[in-house]
Amino acid sequence: DQQVKQNSPSLSVQEGRISILNCDYTNSMFDYFLWYKKYPAEGPTFLISISSIKDKNEDGRFTVFLNKSAKHLSLHIVPSQPGDSAVYFCAASGAGGGSQGNLIFGKGTKLSVKP
Amino acid sequence: DAGVIQSPRHEVTEMGQEVTLRCKPISGHNSLFWYRQTMMRGLELLIYFNNNVPIDDSGMPEDRFSAKMPNASFSTLKIQPSEPRDSAVYFCASSRSAGGWDTQYFGPGTRLTVL
């Protein structure tokens, strides 16, 4: 039973266009959401996060939107660059430490940005 | 500043053999996490430590898996005996605290193949 779902295994976008990666979750207790990026043969690296008290967080070309009522978040990359080609993981956690602080990851979306 | 260090990067072994994966977290980080990535299940948490103490091992598949953290700068994940279904990429990550909001820094992973 997946608590964090990324329904698109892959996405292909033209350089300069917007990339939109989607993520859905089922656990209403999640209150912190993160996106990680992973290149081949490397570990995931933190990209951007958002707390459940916000609906948007922006960092340069990357913006994460959170729709709590729909239990949905999305990552927008504008403009997309070839170096953005990677696997993007959505992750969620509950409040505090202990088991609630564990990160639950989606299975990832492979983004390909074509020159 | 060195990131999370994992060794070996690749391990090929035969079914029934003991496998030991090693991790050195980032200095000053109090929490350490072991993850496993497979095509079927994605990235899943196996166990995590806080201040060298195992906090949540509910993700450990079975008794063949064990993890230790004898000091703040070293952890091992052991599989004995190994089975072909254990083939996966194993990641170690560390963070300043165990809270889900605290960025986890991942190592490059160990790709394990059990023949």
DSSP-assigned letters across all residues of B15-33: TT--EEEEEEPPTT--EEE
Section B98-106 average pLDDT:
83
Q: Is B61 helix (H, G, I), strand (E, B) or coil?
A: coil
Shortest distance between the Cα of A40 and any Cα of chain B, in A, equals 10
Q: How many contacts does A have with B, using Cβ atoms within 8 A?
A: 65
User: Which band of pLDDT confidence, cut at 50, 70 and 90, is reported for residue A113?
Assistant: very high
Q: Do B108 and A41 make contact, defined as CB atoms within 8 angstroms?
A: yes
CB–CB of B43 and A98 under 8 A?
A: no
Contact: B48, A102; criterion CB under 8 Å: yes
Alpha-carbon separation of residue B73 from A101, B27, B78, B108 (angstroms): 22, 7, 17, 17
Note if the bond before A82 is cis, omega within 30 degrees.
no
Q: Which of A38, A100, A102, A110 to mutate to test the interface with B (most CBs of B within 10 A)?
A: A102
Q: Taking CA atoms, what residue in A is nearest to B103?
A: A46
End-to-end CA distance of chain B: 36
61-90 of A, contacting B, C-beta below 8 A? 89
Q: What tokens were used for A102?
A: 């564990």
Note the pLDDT tens digit of each residue in B18-71: 999 999 999 999 999 999 999 888 899 999 999 999 988 988 988 999 999 999
Q: Distance (Å, rounded) from C-alpha B67 to C-alpha B48?
A: 9
Please state whether beta strands B110-114 and B10-13 pair in parallel, antiparallel, or not at all (unpaired).
Answer: parallel
Query: Which helix H or strand E contains B67, and what residues bound it?
Result: strand B65-71
**From CA B110, how far away is CA B76, in angstroms rounded?**
12
Q: Name the residue type at position B74.
A: F
Distance CA B66, CA B86 (A): 13
pLDDT category of residue A100 using cuts at 50, 70 and 90: low
The distance of B108 to chain A (nearest Cα, Å) reads 4
